[in-house]
Structure 1
Amino acid sequence: MKKWWAAAAGMAVYTMGAGMYFSNRIMYMKKKEEDFIQNREITAKRLDMKHFAELPKSEITINSPSGYGLKCLFIEPNNTDKWIIISHGVTENKINSIKYMNIFLKRGFNAVIYDHRRHGESGGKTSSYGHYEKFDLKAVVDELKSRKGPDITIGIHGESMGAATLLLYAGMLEDACDFYIADCPFSDFEDQLKHQIKKEVKLPSWTILPIGRTFIKIRDGYWTSEVSPISVIKNIKKPVLFIHSLPDTFIPADMTKKLYQEKTGPKQLYLAPYGAHAQSYNENSQEYQEAIDQFLKELVFK
């Protein structure tokens, strides 16, 4: 009997410890400091603070349906009805979105950059890798249409979690924008978690994932299996440009290849030869912009 109780107590301790550790890692992934992001982008010559400061812009706080504020910048140097919304990755903030914004400003667009929940100047306590973020993205799209009119052209560019978010928004909520650019998204969050568990813990995912997903459901209100762009990709009828760097080991390029294969209708794929995760533009800037130009010319403004 004592051995049985000892085993049960040991299992309870393991379950609680593993569940809390796993869910904390997911919900509260350590964010990069704003100064670090800004200095990194300036040093790499991807950010000119003087130029950015001179751009005409409006600072707007949009109410999230989850009950906090989303800090947005509406940037309008061009007299146009073409808009791009930039959706950043986990641990980053809207400063990282400026380099992508500049691509589109040079092509005659205006832009919205904003901080996801729990990032930058926005509210929210946890990251959910697209589950709650897709509703926030809808709020940004709706606000843009409310301010600028329902007939404007809107595209969304997203990186990593931001790319998964835009695919979930378009596939699960409403295919309400005119085009999407998904840079290094995961195809399925649970598959991504299994990939990371194998790399970091060296244990079979079945020893951790069932416990972790249950704790996330209890603590943050969703099942990780619900965060699955691949399950909704066929709902997206508008053009999608998929981008991924082949050397990416954090989110394998095969995930983007699967998304591209499953997407029906207009689509394009650019696989960058250089760069780690979320580095496709940084390491292949000319080719990256050429892929966007081809996409816009052949599938969006044809």
Structure 2
Amino acid sequence: MKRGRVFLFSSIFTTALSAATTVFGIFVTNKLMYIKKKDDRFIYDREIKAQRFDEAWYKNCRKEEMLIDSPNGYQVKGVFLQPLDTKNTVIISHGVTENKMNSMKYARMYERLGFNTFVFDHRRHGESGGKTTSYGHYEKFDLQAVVQTVRSIIGDDAILGIHGESMGAATTLLYAGSIEDNADFYIADCAFSDFSKQVSHVIKKSTVLRTQLPVHLANIFLRIRDGYSIWDVSPKEAVSNIESPILFVHSLQDDFILPEMSEEMYEVKKGPKMFKKFEKGAHAQSFNDNPVEYEKTVKEFLEKYVFNQANLQSVSEET
């Protein structure tokens, strides 16, 4: 009789534990896969109000809207902005919950620096397809399709850069370090170095949990539900394979993605690199709070590692 009761209680406990684990796993992965995005109208109004988006400029700017087929099975929506008579172009990769409207501020900066720009919506954001957000894992293949399309238009002789912010920066580094280093330079603004560390940081910051168990549980369910592991998303590992110049940017006040993550990747990067730390600015606010110094930093980076190298290569080919 006692043995029967023990077995019954054990079965109930095991079932309850399994159910709780399943509920928790689904809850956490839902938060990751279907993270709540900012409303498109909210982003538009915010950028207008902050005077980071010039509606009149955009209306009169020479541009081409494009739909690019993703190898993941949907279309990526982008806009090729061509205010200048140049082939030199920068692809701008926005952060999670944002859309291509958030990239317009950088488009104006690059116009002043002599570049046209291609802005696009990540999967499940803005006007692009895709059902889940994967923090760079699937997004890097979308970026590959974007790079190949833009490169086919501007040609191999043109300078091509990629500028990423937050998740877009992580995506940029994952693309360049694990698929193809097919750009002349990269700018990684407040990228996380390792997704497992980032998830752990967010859980510790927003809950009382202080163990790695939630991350491991989330990883199990993420593999089942979305086909990849949290540990697969590691920009820090990718950076060691990137030969082209990288400018790392991070605000010291960023408590969402810690500046130490950019420091880790800067140390790992071999070859040409720069690191700019801004005293002022929360997460992904370095440009917004320091526009003049930010542009000056990008110009310095380009003059040191991109324009000079392009001129040297041109002279070498002529001789």
Structure 1-normalised TM-score?
0.98
1:136-155 paired onto structure 2 within 5 Å: 136-155=142-161
CA distance, structure 2, for counterparts of residue 148 and residue 164 of structure 1? 25
Q: Which residue pairs with 1:65 in the alignment?
A: 71
Q: Which residue pairs with 1:215 in the alignment?
A: 221
1:52 CA drift (Å):
1.1
What is the identity, as a one-letter code, of the residue corresponding to 2:155?
A: G
CA distance, structure 1, for counterparts of residue 50 and residue 150 of structure 2? 31
CA contact (8 A) 1:245 1:271 kept: yes
1:209 CA drift (Å):
1.2
- The Cα RMSD (Å) is 0.8
Identity across matched positions, percent: 49
Q: Which residue pairs with 2:96 in the alignment?
A: 90
CA distance, structure 2, for counterparts of residue 203 and residue 10 of structure 1? 20
Q: Which residue pairs with 2:253 in the alignment?
A: 247
Q: Which residue pairs with 1:118 in the alignment?
A: 124
1:255-294 paired onto structure 2 within 5 Å: 255-294=261-300
CA contact (8 A) 2:287 2:294 kept: yes
Q: Which residue pairs with 2:135 in the alignment?
A: 129
Q: Which residue pairs with 2:212 in the alignment?
A: 206
1:185 is aligned to 2:184: no
1:191 CA drift (Å):
0.4
CA distance, structure 2, for counterparts of residue 278 and residue 205 of structure 1? 27
What is the identity, as a one-letter code, of the residue corresponding to 1:157?
A: H
1:3 CA drift (Å):
1.8
CA contact (8 A) 1:197 1:205 kept: no
Q: Give the alignment partner of residue 76 of structure 1, picking from 75, 82, 85.
A: 82
CA distance, structure 1, for counterparts of residue 55 and residue 87 of structure 2? 26
1:300 is aligned to 2:301: no
Q: Deviations over 1:115-153 (max 9, x none)?
A: 000000000000000000000000001001122222221
What is the identity, as a one-letter code, of the residue corresponding to 2:130?
A: G
CA distance, structure 2, for counterparts of residue 126 and residue 262 of structure 1? 30
Q: Which residue pairs with 1:168 in the alignment?
A: 174
1:197 is aligned to 2:203: yes
Q: Which residue pairs with 2:233 in the alignment?
A: 227
Helix, strand or coil at the partner of 1:90: coil
1:264 CA drift (Å):
0.7
Aligned residues: 302
Rg larger for: 2
CA contact (8 A) 2:188 2:248 kept: yes
Structure 1 alignment gaps of length 5 or more: none
Structure 2-normalised TM-score?
0.93
CA distance, structure 2, for counterparts of residue 157 and residue 242 of structure 1? 10
CA distance, structure 2, for counterparts of residue 165 and residue 208 of structure 1? 24
What is the identity, as a one-letter code, of the residue corresponding to 2:288?
A: N
What is the identity, as a one-letter code, of the residue corresponding to 2:71?
A: P
1:205 CA drift (Å):
3.4
